Amino acid sequence: MRTLKSQPAKGLHGELTVPGDKSISHRGIMLGAISEGTTTLTHFLTSADCLSTLAAFQQLGVPIEREGTTVTVHGVGLHGLKASEEPLDMGNSGTTTRLIMGLLAGQPFSTTLIGDASLSKRPMRRVSDPLAAMGADITTTDGHLPVTINGEKLHAVDYQLKVASAQVKSALILAALQADEPSTLTELLPTRDHTERMLTAFGGEITTASDGLTITVQPQPQLKGQSMTVPGDMSSAAFFMTAASLVPGSQITLKDVGLNKTRTGLLDILNVMGGDVSVESEPTDGEPIGDLTIRSANLKPIDIGKAQIPAVIDELPLVALLAAKADGISRITGAEELRVKETDRISAIVTEFKKLGIDIEELPDGFVIDGRKPWHVVDPVLDAHDDHRIGMVIGIAALLVDQPLQLKGADSVRISYPEFFDDLDKLL
Ligand code: S3P
């Protein structure tokens, strides 16, 4: 049990560089592994999830070294991975699992994937079904882990995705690299495009049509190792953006944060809510990055629906927190994907927010929150539900009450942000 810091007298102040982006760190290892030559990733995220990816690829015969946050991957090419005798342990990481399923579907050996209790409850047919349409042979355990992938020769597809998910899209892209002909994938809504951008940087041929939804993947590329600096994770920066917006008297600067448009939904939402955020960015060759300065502000309520969800999917617990202090009723709908994250995040947020006396109503696909009602602590013992983002949003919510709260399962932050509480302390 961790005792959380309560309302800081003078707000949050200072400058911080958040750890590297989780999505980009995973993909850096994967694309580095299937490239020829060396890939160097600086500011790599050394959290439990990304270390699951690193260990899995070592087990698949890829030499990988790590010194602090610098990772060197000695690529083995698209056809150089080796079978692992032991099952690959995906830990808590949905991204590792889904993307590796796509990659291993076309490799000439069998692999079994296992994971922790939370990951073993998450749906995997969303990946195995479309991969089966490409000729993959994947057995799930009732749609879940453990999963066994018997590598097969894959054929091209023209596939319409059934869920707005970058993980599913990326799995299909990695499978399509191994097919016989070009594949076309069509998304329901645009989702994070790191795989597409990085694949291009590594020498692959992938194009997105002007509708932003239809992707064509050329098979059998000769990928070349790259050196890249991983931008700060917008999804980690988001906790401090929210804290500084809500705690009166705050002013902080977050340096070198990834500003890819498919990830900056929270910036747009804060703008609409009347938040005070300024962005300073310089053009880059790769992923856009910039410095964010956030000052506290009085916030207006917000109404967000399906089309806005993918760009803010991991930040929705924070949108709920912003709404819980806004001057009116906010509605978040079209977010049913939250129910299949590390925990059912809709249910977890409603349960934990109610302990703080927040006026929140659960919807099948989101919540309605009245931020005008004053909070009152009903139960000071909150629970992370074994979910890093729920643990961290509670860490921020605690700054808005004037008595110390207790958090069960605080070490869940190791999944995406092991230094979260230390970094928060630096700003207090
Ligand atoms: C991720 C995509 C998102 C996100 C997850 C990371 C990725 O999941 O929630 O934290 O790296 O592709 P979905 O694409 O399944 O929504």
58 and 184 housed in the same domain: yes
Q: Determine the angle formed by the axes of helices 94-104 and 48-59, rounding to 10 degrees.
A: 20
- Is 306 a domain residue? yes
The predicted structure's pLDDT at residue 284: 86
| Same domain, yes or no: 189 and 241 | no
**Tokens 């009347």 correspond to what residue?**
274
Residue 314 annotated to the active site: yes
Residue 226 inside a domain? The answer is: no
Q: Are residues 34 and 75 in contact, defined by beta-carbon separation less than 8 angstroms? A: yes
Check 193, 291, 314, 423 and give the catalytic one.
Answer: 314
Closest ligand 1 atom, residue 341 Cα: 9
Of the candidates 100, 98, 94, 24, the one whose C-alpha atom is nearest the C-alpha of residue 62 is 100
Residue nearest to atom 16 of ligand 1 (CA): 165
Q: In the listed set 185, 214, 243, which residue is the last one of a domain according to the structure?
A: 214
Protein residues with CB under 6 Å of any ligand 1 atom:
23, 95, 165-167, 170, 191-192, 313-314, 337
Tell whether residue 122 is among the known ligand binding residues: yes
389 is in an annotated binding site: yes
pLDDT of residue 285: 82
- CATH code assigned at 48: 3.65.10.10
Residue 267 inside a domain? The answer is: yes
**Nearest CA, atom 10, ligand 1:** 314
Q: Identify the residue whose C-alpha is closest to ligand 1 atom 4.
A: 314
**Whole-Å CA distances, 343 to 122, 212, 338:** 9, 30, 8
User: What is the atom index within ligand 1 of the atom nearest the CA of 166?
Assistant: 14
How many angstroms separate the CA atoms of 81 and 403, rounded? 53
CA 401 – ligand 1 centroid, Å:
31
Same domain, 153 and 298: no
Same domain, 319 and 346: yes
> Does residue 273 fall inside a structural domain?
yes
Residues 245, 189: one domain?
no
Are the C-beta atoms of residues 257 and 18 closer than 8 Å to each other? yes
- The three-class DSSP label of residue 32 is helix
Mean pLDDT by 10 residues, the chain (428 residues): 94 98 98 98 98 98 98 98 98 98 98 98 98 98 98 98 98 98 98 98 98 97 98 98 98 98 98 98 91 98 98 98 98 98 98 98 98 97 98 98 96 98 98
151 is in an annotated binding site: no
CA 165 to ligand 1 centroid distance, Å: 6
Find out whether 23 is annotated in a ligand binding site.
yes
Query: Do the annotations mark residue 341 as ligand-binding?
Result: yes
pLDDT at residue 224, rounded to an integer: 98
Minimal-distance CA residue to ligand 1 atom 13? 165
Instruction: Determine the Cα–Cα distance for residues 194 and 208; give it in Å rounded to an integer.
Output: 12
Q: Which atom of ligand 1 is nearest to the CA of 195?
A: 12
pLDDT at 336: 98
- Give the nearest ligand 1 atom to 26 CA: 11
Residues 167 and 250 in one domain: no
Residue 222 lies in a domain: no
| Two structure tokens written together for 338 | 């939250």
What is the span of the domain harbouring residue 365? 2-20+231-427
Would you say residue 220 lies in a domain?
Answer: no
Number of structural domains (the chain) is: 2
> Distance from the CA of 30 to the center of ligand 1, in angstroms?
15
For residues 403 and 261, membership in a common domain is answered with yes
My answer on whether 309 and 421 are in the same domain is yes
pLDDT at 282: 86
Using the structure block, give the residue that is written with the tokens 């191994």: 178
- pTM for this prediction: 0.98
177 alpha carbon – ligand 1 mean position (Å): 20
Looking at residue 365, its pLDDT comes to: 98
Residues 167 and 58 in one domain: yes
285: tokens are: 């060759």
120 annotated as belonging to a binding site for a ligand: no
- Centre of ligand 1 to C-alpha 313, Å, is 8
Mutate to test the pocket of ligand 1, among 93, 163, 313 (most ligand atoms within 8 A of CB): 313
Q: Using an 8 Å Cβ cutoff, are 389 and 364 in contact?
A: no
Same domain, 245 and 146: no
Please check if 27 is assigned to a binding site.
yes
The answer to whether residues 374 and 291 belong to one domain is yes
Residue 277 lies in a domain: yes
Residue 156 CA, distance from chain mean position: 28
* Residue of 45, 167, 287 to test ligand 1 pocket, by largest number of atoms within 8 Å of CB: 167
188 in the same domain as 147: yes
Q: Best mutation site among 27, 95, 118 for ligand 1, i.e. most ligand atoms within 8 A of its Cβ?
A: 95
User: Ligand 1 centroid to 11 CA: how many Å?
Assistant: 32
Ligand 1 nearest-atom number relative to CA 23: 11
Closest-CA residue, ligand 1 atom 9, reads 314
| Residue 171 in domain | yes
Residues with Cβ within 8 Å of residue 85, at least 6 apart in sequence: none
Under DSSP, is residue 158 helix (H, G, I), strand (E, B) or coil?
strand
pLDDT of 135 reads: 98
> Residue 127's pLDDT is what?
98
Rounded Cα distance, 367 and 353, in Å: 11
Given 160, 184, 214, which residue is the final one in a domain?
214
Give the position, in ligand 1's atom list, of the atom nearest the Cα of 169: 14
CA–CA separation, 191 and 3 (whole Å) = 36
Among 214, 245, 273, the domain boundary falls at: 214
